[in-house]
Structure 1
Amino acid sequence: MALTEIPTSADQLHAAVRGNAATAPVALLERLFARLFQDLVYPQIWEDPVADMAALALSPSDRVICIASGGCNLMSYLTASPASVTAVDLSPAHVALCRLKLAAARHLPDHAAFHGFFASANLPHNTALYDRYLAPHLDAETRAYWEARGIRGRRIGMFARGFHRHGLLGRFIGATHLLARLGGVDFRPLLAARTLGEQRRFFETRIDPLLGSAPVRFLARRRAALFGLGIPPAQYDKLAADGGGDVLPVLRERARRLICDFPIRENYFAWQALARRYDTAPDAALPPYLTAENFETVRANAARAHVFNRSLTDLLEREPAGRLDAYVLLDAQDWMSAAQLDALWLQITRTAAPGARVLFRTGGVHDILPGRLAPELLARWRYDRAASEAATAADRSAIYGATHLYRRAA
């Protein structure tokens, strides 16, 4: 989940999440949410890049543009060797993280160092690797971000203390673990499960009762409680609508999918949620960019990627017509007004090459474009229902209602 406005101030961030007119209490929550998004939110993205690449069928001739978030998508797309990948994000922290990952792919000495920095992300010598190999290759703004000091020293020190536990999402997952411990739930047997049947039984006997507990019901029904998942008030309301006005049944179904629909050993999203880290087994599932077999490809292609701290619409306005082949919007459109959608799709349509594809996710189940996007723009695109349904089913993060794929109409 990511944002799409230039992050020069909290007011501009607020404009990105506001979407539509809101009551005063909701407007206050939106401003708080925008303020939280000025710092690191996602140490790892929660969109499955494997599902993305299959739906988009990325090829070496493709020029890709995406919203960056924590950068796992941007980096993983490089394994398909596209002609270029351009990423944008509203959060300066996300931009700094993506630029750090790209520098690391190019300049760390080997895969072991790269894996230790971003997969383990808790090794004391990671700060020394940063100083020796990465800092000299970073732009001044990115270097200033990672070397800024707080009460625990330099910000780059997060990679020596367990980076995945940091950020708004990392703290939110930590809070859910506290609730689980208070409820007597130990996730270790689930992480050791060998069959989907074992995973389903654990969910039904341990997690489902916890989700039905009074503290969880109380928290889930308050918009601010889900800020840690990157869910602003407008998107919260869409989730609640899918549950007949109650967000809890929707959250329960998303948790069930995460835990029950994919083998635990093949789902690194589940490991992040349940263990706050990646699996350490030799054959553990990882984001594609972190695997040993993809390292040299990512290293060779890192120079093809560029990250900008600006809005997607603004960046597209500066692109030549008919140049881009694949667009990945994450769930940003859930937060947009009809006018913002029209402005974005006007530029997507102008810059799209023949055969271009647009992939995005929605917090709710239904496609949000029909009835909201200007008909003359929507008519230039064809919805690929089969690919959309396949991508939704394949997304191991299980946090979204659906993934949608549009193709440029002939």
Structure 2
Amino acid sequence: MTELAPDAGFGRKNPKLKSALLQHKPLSLAGLSERLFGLLFSGLVYPQIWEDPIVDMAAMQIRAGHRIVTIGSGGCNMLTYLSAGPAHIDVVDLNPHHIALNRLKLAAFRHLPSHKDIVRFLAATDTKSNVQAFDLFLAPNVDAATRAYWNSRALDGRRRIDVFGRNIYRTGLLGRFIAASHLLARLHGINPEEFVQARSMREQRQFFDEKLAPLFERPVIRWITSRKSSLFGLGIPPQQFDELASLSDEKSLAAVLRQRLEKLTCHFPLRENYFAWQAFARRYPLPHEGDLPAYLQAENHEPIRDHADRVEVHHASFTELLARKAASSVDRYVLLDAQDWMNDRQLNDLWTEITRTADSGAVVIFRTAAEASILPGRVSPALLDQWHYNAEASTKLGAEDRSAIYGGFHVYRKKA
């Protein structure tokens, strides 16, 4: 397991992230855009993952004995997968802040006394006792690098762990982006937090049609959404912006973002969609308001706790980790949207390792900014011909993804 520097950043301090992001010369417009995104992405980005793990579970059909490799992000996905009892999960991430967060969440399941303590630590807001819980139960039981990270001081001078005494979901790049979006809406006379007062799908639709949709016609919002840098807070790199832009005849992404927001607000009951709660209330629902993520629900507590020692968290790229594995040693692969960032060489290197390490019947799942899979025409036919694309399942499950951020969800299965 790679050690974690307490405050690793971008570029010289984090060459793995630099290698993944930078594809153009520094003084080109594309190169400058990539470096700005990399600077922003070098801190904590996702306190919560923004891919629906329930959709992942339906696609992968995890069984006992399965070996999984997944990108970490906010860690909610790998914890959800643990509830199905796989044999092993390797978590990889290029962002050291995500590494620290994944390891902390695992430690919480291993060492906090009860399910209520887990929910208090990972879902409650303004709970000062969470910091005490870290000092008492978690700090003595995590590796030295993770303990050093959470004990280190943030820019405001407070220990990093203090965010769990406030509201970690209002931090990170995405948390700040949501805060800025709320401010922009309020400047136009709309309070997004009022959305969680909706009591029916009809009221959700009414709120979107009357208050949210008109915002995307405002000139300032259309101007903002025409700038690549304005969407870096969503974790959308320059390459992904270009994919989204291909869906519209306009320079602005206002129409695309409007469509995604419509899905988030109108396609799922608010009570069942904690992603909408995070987007609009900037917190998880209380018990009388709605459901928590699956990994925080009581029925999944014991399986996750009992299987937590089956996870290893690596500061490495997906391809780098797979290159260290034996042939036919992995059953399930979760790529999130990472391939949207890659050039053709990186894609082929990745799929060479995926194909080599895939056991019989292995499944790969990933998401894309646009609707279509990005693999045809870019990954070598000699590699891609060894995989079957399940178009029906991809379309069906993509429609069921409650996070609503992505245009496509894709399922590939290794041919016999």
Report the TM-score, using the length of structure 2 for normalisation.
0.94
Say if 2:24 and 2:30, in contact at 8 Å, map to a contact too.
no
Q: Secondary structure at the match of 1:242?
A: coil
Residue 304 of structure 1, aligned match among 306, 310, 323: 310
Residue 135, structure 1, aligned to residue 139, structure 2: yes
**In structure 1, distance between residues paired with 2:325 and 2:289:** 41
Distance across 1 between alignment mates of 2:273 and 2:21: 30
Contact 1:362 1:400 in 2 (8 A): yes
Aligned mates of 1:202, 1:67 — CA distance in 2? 35
Counterpart contact for 2:11–2:18, Cα < 8 Å: no
Picking from 361, 369, 372, the partner of 1:363 is: 369
Report the secondary structure of 1:391's partner residue: helix
Deviations 1:138-193 (A, max 9, x none): 11111111111133410000111111000000000000111121111123442122
Instruction: Work out the CA distance in 2 between the residues paired with 1:21 and 1:379.
Output: 34
Matches within 5 A, 1:115-126: 115-126=119-130
Q: Name the counterpart of 1:91.
A: 95
Aligned length: 405
Q: CA distance change for structure 1 residues 149 and 30 in 2, over 3 Å: closer, same or farther?
A: same
CA distance in 2, matches of 1:182, 1:99: 39
Determine the C-alpha separation between the residues in 2 that align with 1:290 and 1:348. 31
Q: Paired residue for 2:228, among 223, 227, 231?
A: 223
The CA deviation at 1:22 is 8.8
Question: Residue 16 of structure 2 contacts residue 316 of structure 2 at CA under 8 Å; is this kept in 1?
Answer: no
Determine the C-alpha separation between the residues in 1 that align with 2:12 and 2:70. 20
Measure the CA separation in 2 of the matches of 1:16 and 1:161: 33
Q: TM-score, normalised by structure 1?
A: 0.96
Structure 2: gaps (5+ residues): 1-9
The separation in 2 between residues aligned to 1:231 and 1:375, in whole angstroms, is 28
Letter in 2 for 1:203: F
Q: Aligned partner of 1:253: which letter?
A: Q
Is residue 196 from structure 1 mapped to residue 201 from structure 2 by the alignment? yes
Aligned partner of 2:278 in structure 1 is: 272
Which residue number corresponds to residue 82 of structure 2?
Answer: 78
The one-letter code matched in structure 1 to 2:71 is I
Distance in 2 between residues matched to 1:198 and 1:156, nearest whole Å: 38
CA apart distance, 1:244: 2.4
Q: CA deviation at 1:136?
A: 0.7
1:68 to 69, 72, 78: 72
AA aligned opposite 2:191: D
Please tell me whether the aligned partners of residues 26 and 32 of structure 2 are also in contact (alpha carbons under 8 angstroms).
no
CA distance in 1, matches of 2:266, 2:355: 39
Whether the 8 Å contact between 2:370 and 2:407 is mirrored in structure 1 is yes
**Counterpart amino acid of residue 60 in structure 1:** A
User: What displacement does 1:30 show?
Assistant: 0.5
Is 1:18–1:336's contact at 8 Å kept on the other side of the alignment? no
Q: CA deviation at 1:196?
A: 1.6
Note closer, same or farther for the CA distance 1:12–1:304 as it changes in structure 2 (3 Å cut).
closer
- Write the mapping of 1:277-356 to structure 2, written as runs, cut at 5 A: 277-282=283-288, 284-356=290-362
Cα distance in 2, alignment partners of residues 16 and 41 from structure 1: 16
Residue 68 of structure 2 aligns to a residue in which SS?
A: strand
Aligned residue for 1:306, secondary structure, equals strand
Paired residues of 2:122 and 2:164 also in contact (CA < 8 A):
yes
Gaps of 5+ in 1: 1-5
Which residue of 2 is the match for residue 167 of structure 1?
172
- Please say if residues 66 and 87 of structure 2, whose CA atoms lie closer than 8 Å, have aligned partners that are also in contact: yes
* Aligned CA-pair RMSD: 1.6
- Alignment counterpart, residue 242 of structure 1, candidates 219, 238, 247: 247
Shift of 1:250: 0.8
CA contact (8 A) 1:19 1:335 kept: no
Contact 1:66-1:85 at 8 Å conserved across structures? yes
| SS class of match (1:320) | coil
For residues 206 and 157 of structure 2, the distance between their equivalents in structure 1, rounded to whole angstroms, comes to: 41
SS at match of 2:332: strand
Letter in 2 for 1:123: T
Instruction: Please name the residue that 1:3 is paired with.
Output: none
Q: In the alignment, residue 145 of structure 1 is paired with which amino acid?
A: Y
**Aligned residue among 374, 382, 386 for 2:392:** 386
Q: Report the Cα offset of residue 113 of structure 1.
A: 1.0
The amino acid across from 1:369 in the alignment is L
Query: How big is each residue's C-alpha offset from its partner over 1:201-221, in whole Å with a ceiling of 9 and x where there is no partner?
Result: 111110011122122112111
Equivalent-residue separation in structure 1 for 2:237 and 2:171 (angstroms):
20
Which runs of structure 1 show a deviation greater than 4 angstroms over 4 or more consecutive aligned residues? 19-23
Please list the CA deviations of residues 79-134 of structure 1 after superposition, one character each: whole Å capped at 9, or x if unmatched. Answer: 11111111100000000000000000000011111101111143111110000000
Q: Quote the Cα distance in structure 1 between the aligned partners of 2:373 and 2:134.
A: 43
1:256 CA displacement: 0.6
Contact 1:46 1:269 in 2 (8 A): yes
Task: Look up the SS of the partner of 2:62 in the other structure.
Answer: coil
User: C-alpha displacement at 1:284, in angstroms?
Assistant: 2.2
1:122/1:158 contact within 8 Å kept: no
Secondary structure class of the residue paired with 1:39: coil
Return the alpha-carbon distance in structure 1 between the equivalents of residues 152 and 40 of structure 2: 18
Give the aligned partner of residue 6 of structure 2.
none
1:392 maps to a residue whose letter is G
Between 1:292-301 and 1:321-330, the stretch displaced more is 292-301
